[in-house]
Chain A
Amino acid sequence: MTALAPVLAIEGLKTYIHLKRGVVRAVDGVDLTVGAGETLGLVGESGSGKSMTGLSILRLLPKGAGKIVAGSIRLDGEELTTLPEKVLARDVRGRRVAMIAQDPMTSLNPVFSIGDQVSGPFRYHGGLPRQEARAAAIDVLQRVRIPSPEKRLGDYPHQFSGGQRQRIVTAMAIGRGPRLLIADEPTTALDVTIQAQMIALLRRLQQESGAGIILITHDLGVAASLCNRIAVMYAGRIVETGPVREVFRNPAHPYTRALLAAIPKLGSRGRRLVAIPGQPPSLIDPPAGCRFAARCPLKVSACDAYPQTTAVGPNHSVACWRAGEAV
């Protein structure tokens, strides 16, 4: 996977949110790459900074409060953080980088027909005449398996089911052949049988489109079924990254291990769950050392300093002082 040239390369990214009660270091030194045709799972809990990392790429941060304060984000080698807002809006957002958000109802406008919303970008940004934009919309809706889309272009979002709406949002995202797709909890709002359909769809698009995908999720099951590589985030930083099999079979960071032990799995009936004590630190004033240390069963005095990232296997690295030890 690493042989592919990265579509996206993030280095040392820091995104801070300025609030009245202080500065939240939502993303605090993140490095990651996504190759063409590769799906990277950005896994973590609420507040770990995974969504903020995604929004930083598109510079869709809370207005006035959110700011990229350090680091670089390169898309096919081009630096995005210094790109003027106008250029970013015209060339990047929705075109080279597209996004699928969790709740399809917030991505779709309830008062415009699906046909208008899906064909709009082809007409107004792609410059296609009306009839061609309509044909392009039908084509892309077919790709996401909306049944007889030509008959449904006049329908409004509320006339579709939740699963269909999420597929329509996906159609809008892939419509213009983005290089990078950011899918933020794309299946979380869906019922389990519908979620399985969405996973199947995303997997097919992966193969067809060759785009790099960042899948942001808290659901380790969804991550395992879609991703080639996993990056585990905790309190604004990536604590472990590696090929999906490595991370699930040989998790190296105590947080990753604890997460995997804390979730009930089918077939593991009756076993007591291993809870992680405590809760994540505040990102207004995070600890100087390892941010998981306060909850970590393996904590030693070295953890008072932030751990170096060390390799524990091919493409598998972890930010933990005790990474090399057999524990």
Chain B
Amino acid sequence: MLVLDQVSKHYGAVKAVDGVSLTVPEGQTLALVGESGCGKTTLAKLILMLEKPTTGRILFDGQDLAQMSRSQLKGYRRQVQAVFQDPYASLNPRLRVASIVAEPILAHERPDRASLKKRVEELLDHVGLPASAASLFPHEFSGGQRQRIAIARALALRPRLMVLDEPVSALDVSIRAQVLNLLADIQQEFSLTYLVIAHDLALVEHFSTQTAVAYLGRIVEHGATEDVFGAPSHPYTRALLEAVPQPDPDHVLPDAALLGEIASALDPPSGCHFHPRCPVAVPICPRERPAEVNAPGAGHTAACHLLAAARPLEHAASSP
């Protein structure tokens, strides 16, 4: 449905996104994970057309966003909606919930009052809020309820793709599960495709069907979630997974002091960006950017020289 083809976004010398190719298949949930500076937020902005790529193409149903006509773009914006991290910042505090949820509808249609009211009530019902919520202001709701309002707004135009940027990380633990379950339910109900941006690996494993791991603007590993978590093939993915503290007192975290600091996106290391932190780096790593090669599982790739050396005959064609 959505295809990123060698997409880059440079801000001056900073390559926030550096040659990313990704496919978001219809009906799936693709999670983009990574730490600060990995480019995940910039990618979301590119997909939402809040920024333009410096190079590369973003295709929606085979159509290049950059080539779309005005009316095609309007159609694209209807079909692609977003839910952001902080429901305290993403809802206008001076609008009533009814206006917040109706806003995207009014941007695209001219419904009469009665049918608009009915649609808003239906949307609130879909996200588990009473119809009476419509006349209240955002501050009258808790964080979890606000995120429900943001989801209702995103659903208003019956989109096909939703970009979920850290949708539960601002919420309390006991509320997160409610919102995650709601997102899973509406995905079924409305046949939605999700692109979820997250840093919480346990959440990603739970929630997504596909996972892409980003490091300093590049995708280092990508595949079905069970393959990426079951057979992590890039040393960075392995390090990330090992570093997650588990709610289990007998789980031992590795001596992470070995891992060093995340490099600056202003001046990323040469070759493979991860090489200064990599426990298994070899001489080629600082010299050449590794190509994506096949890893265990269909469509599972990782950009690592060691993997390329170990499986020399299985070089992936170019991009997944």
Please list the residues of chain A having a beta carbon within 8 angstroms of any beta carbon in chain B. 45-46, 145, 161-164, 191-197, 199-201, 218-225, 227, 244-245, 248, 258-260, 262-277, 279-280
Contact = CB atoms under 8 A, between A and B. Distances in A.
Contact of B261 (A161, A219, A280): A161
A263 B262 contact: no
B298 interface: no
Interface in B195-211: 199-203, 205-207
Contact of B248 (A195, A248, A280): A248
A274 B199 CA distance: 21
A279 B148 CA distance: 14
Given A248-B248, A265-B246, A269-B225, A200 B261 contact: no
- Secondary structure at the B interface, as helix, strand, loop or mixed, is helix
A193 B256 contact: yes
Contacts of A197: 256-257, 259
Contacts of B142: 279
A275 B206 CA distance: 14
Contact of A225 (B173, B201, B242, B251): B251
6 contacts: A221-B245, A262-B173, A266-B241, A266-B244, A269-B229, A273-B206
A199 B245 CA distance: 9
A192 B247 contact: no
Contacts of A219: 245
B174 A276 contact: yes
A192 B169 CA distance: 14
B249 A244 contact: yes
Contacts of B259: 193, 196-197
A145 B260 CA distance: 11
Contacts of A145: 257
Interface string B194-236: 0000011111011100000000000000000110010000000
Most buried by B among A162, A164, A273: A273
B67 interface: no
B90 interface: no
B246 A266 contact: yes
B239 interface: yes
B176 interface: yes
Contacts of B203: 264
B234 to A, nearest CB: 13
Given A45-B172, A192-B244, A276-B177, A266 B205 contact: yes
Contacts of A224: 245-249, 251
Contacts of A45: 172-174
Contacts of B205: 264, 266-269
A84 B256 CA distance: 43
A7 to B, nearest CB: 22
Contact of B35 (A193, A271, A272, A276): A193
Contact of B262 (A161, A200, A248, A271): A161
B144 interface: yes
Nearest to A277: B178
A268 B245 CA distance: 15
Contacts of B178: 275-277
A258 B247 contact: no
Interface in B15-39: 35-36
Nearest to A226: B245
* 6 nearest CB pairs, A to B: A221-B245, A196-B256, A264-B206, A191-B35, A196-B243, A273-B177
Nearest to B179: A275
Given A164-B261, A192-B240, A269-B225, A263 B173 contact: yes
A76 B240 CA distance: 41
B180 A273 contact: yes
Given A192-B35, A220-B173, A225-B249, 7 more contacts: A46-B172, A191-B199, A195-B243, A265-B247, A266-B205, A268-B205, A275-B174
